Amino acid sequence: MSFFHELAAQYIDGEWRTGSGSWDIIDFNPFNGEKLAAITVATAGEVDRAYRAAERAQGEWESAGPYARRQVLERALRVTEELAGEIVEAIIDELGGTRSKALYEVGLAQEFLREAARQALHPEGRILPSAVDGKENRLYRTPVGVIGVIGPFNFPFLVTMKSVAPALALGNAVVVKPNQNTPVVGGGLFAKIFEEAGLPAGLLNVVVTDSAEIGDAFIEHPVPKVISFAGSDAVGRHIAATAGGLFKRTVLELGGNSALVVLEDADIDYAVDAAVFSRFVYQGQVCMAANRILVDRSVAAEFGEKFAARVAALRTGDPRESETQIGPVINTFHADALAALVDQALADGATAPVRGRTRGNLVEPTVLAGIPEGSPLLSQEIFGPVALLVTFDGEEDAVRIVNDSPYGLSGAVHTASAERGVRFAQRIRSGMFHVNDSTVQDDPGVAFGGEKSSGLGRLNGDAAVEAFTTQKWISVQHGRSVFPF
């Protein structure tokens, strides 16, 4: 609980301070409703102070050089390792994440810190040939300056780290605006980690606020050159339009409607295990989660029976208990919306091989089948523990159904032939696709992002270098140029 007392504040220019807004964001435990913290919101004036502090600090940080920056990232990793147990507990309390989910998030965030320390030394200049005699073309890669990072509620520590760590490693300064459901794990915790790691003041700022208070000030402010956002496609579309009009770059990790496809030659038991994880990890509140489970008609009966049995056996309850596999969804509004969605699907003709109950914010898993083709349910993102079982007739039909979605983030296919799976994956319009595995994958060294309404840009590895640096051409003329007049 100490994090929620210590870190429930704004962090601007190296100082912890109370916001000057007229209302508080209340941080609740989604499982038991316990009040964890109250944070007075930051105003547009405080957003300005955070960005101006970042702007002032960035030049010296860039000049410090990659080895000095790497040392800070390495110390941040050590701090994270020392605090790992407390961070796990905070994720359970603030997000309602199960213990296994929290351990996964913290462990992978540490891998991203390791990757960021490597990335500090990664940018390389180039010398390029010229058509002009005596001309030397030098291409430098430099930081963009200041990055605005808007984090999500579902994996706030991991996803925010995916932007913050490489941005700092590459010589930028950062202002973080956490989701109001996770202001500590997604906000104040970063300030604590990098403060203890010795990051100079001003380079990382955290403003806890909401658009109801500041409007678009976080996006429209003249200082940030890149806005990195993870969240819904509706909000992402607004950010893209607003930032684009101001010639700002965006990196948008948005929603998904991923499909896990089971071909007729798949290992059914293994595919069932992958599908259960892909749909129900963190209560299905994952952008890569498999909304749709597509199964070849020839094996649909066997798969459906085994899948329903596994789902029905999942334990829903207190996320602090190690046996719990399904914890609470993030809030009551979301729980009620999921219950209404299931009721509407059943009224429209779907069946429920597994029908879970809703108890407060605990939404037990539901499996829906027999959904009419063309139903809006098949093309929307369902951010919760509701799985859709869909049958198909052959591989061509499966490709058609998978691609019939406005989203294109992730997916998976299960088959006895890995190369058949690769050929299938190549036909899917998505940023990521996995053969004989879960739809939920992330790797610090591999480009992560989506197509269509699932986002713009990529993160991780070399893609993060592209996202948070820019290229500058400097030419040197050896000898004298000849000018036409």
- pLDDT per position as a tens digit, 37-77: 999 999 999 999 999 999 999 999 999 999 999 999 999 99
What is the pLDDT confidence band of residue 351, given thresholds at 50, 70 and 90?
A: very high
CA distance 241 to 249: 11
pLDDT digits (tens, 9 = 90+) for 283-313: 999 999 999 999 999 999 999 999 999 999 9
Long-range contacts of 415-421 (CB under 8 A, 24+ apart): 415/263, 415/265, 415/266, 416/265, 416/266, 416/267, 417/265, 420/263, 420/265
Strands across the sheet with 386-392, in order? 351-354, 366-369, 386-392, 290-296, 258-262, 411-414, 434-435
Give the containing element (helix H, strand E) for 301.
Answer: helix 300-312
Give the containing element (helix H, strand E) for 426.
Answer: helix 418-426
Residues 6+ apart with CB under 8 A from 147: 163, 167, 172, 173, 174, 175, 224, 225, 226, 227, 228, 468
Q: What integer pLDDT is reported at residue 283 of this predicted model?
A: 98
Report, as an integer, the average pLDDT of 324-346.
Answer: 97
Task: Answer whether 62's CB lies under 8 Å from 30's CB.
Answer: no
Residues 6+ apart with CB under 8 A from 3: 86, 90, 184, 185, 188, 189, 192
Report, as an integer, the average pLDDT of 79-90.
Answer: 98
Report, as an integer, the average pLDDT of 29-42.
Answer: 98
Q: Which amino acid is at 381?
A: E
Q: What integer pLDDT is reported at residue 232 of this predicted model?
A: 96
CA distance 47 to 69: 25
Catalytic site residues? 253, 287
Task: Answer whether 399's CB lies under 8 Å from 428's CB.
Answer: yes
Q: Which domains does the chain have, with CATH numbers?
A: 2-254+454-473 (3.40.605.10), 258-435 (3.40.309.10)
pLDDT digits (tens, 9 = 90+) for 150-189: 999 999 999 999 999 999 999 999 999 999 999 999 999 9
Q: What integer pLDDT is reported at residue 192 of this predicted model?
A: 98
Report, as an integer, the average pLDDT of 218-232.
Answer: 98
- Check residue 283 and report its DSSP letter: G
pTM above 0.85, yes or no: yes
Residue ranges in 14-155 assigned as alpha helix (H): 44-64, 66-82, 84-95, 99-119
Beta-bridged to residue 452, according to DSSP, are 407
Q: Tell me the average pLDDT of the chain.
A: 97
CA distance 461 to 465: 7
Tell me whether residue 324 is exposed, middle or buried, using C-beta atoms within 10 angstroms of its C-beta: 0 to 12, 13 to 18, 19 or more. Answer: buried
CA distance 284 to 364: 11
Report, as an integer, the average pLDDT of 321-347.
Answer: 96
Q: What integer pLDDT is reported at residue 123 of this predicted model?
A: 85
Q: Which amino acid is at 345?
A: A
- Check residue 379 and report its DSSP letter: G
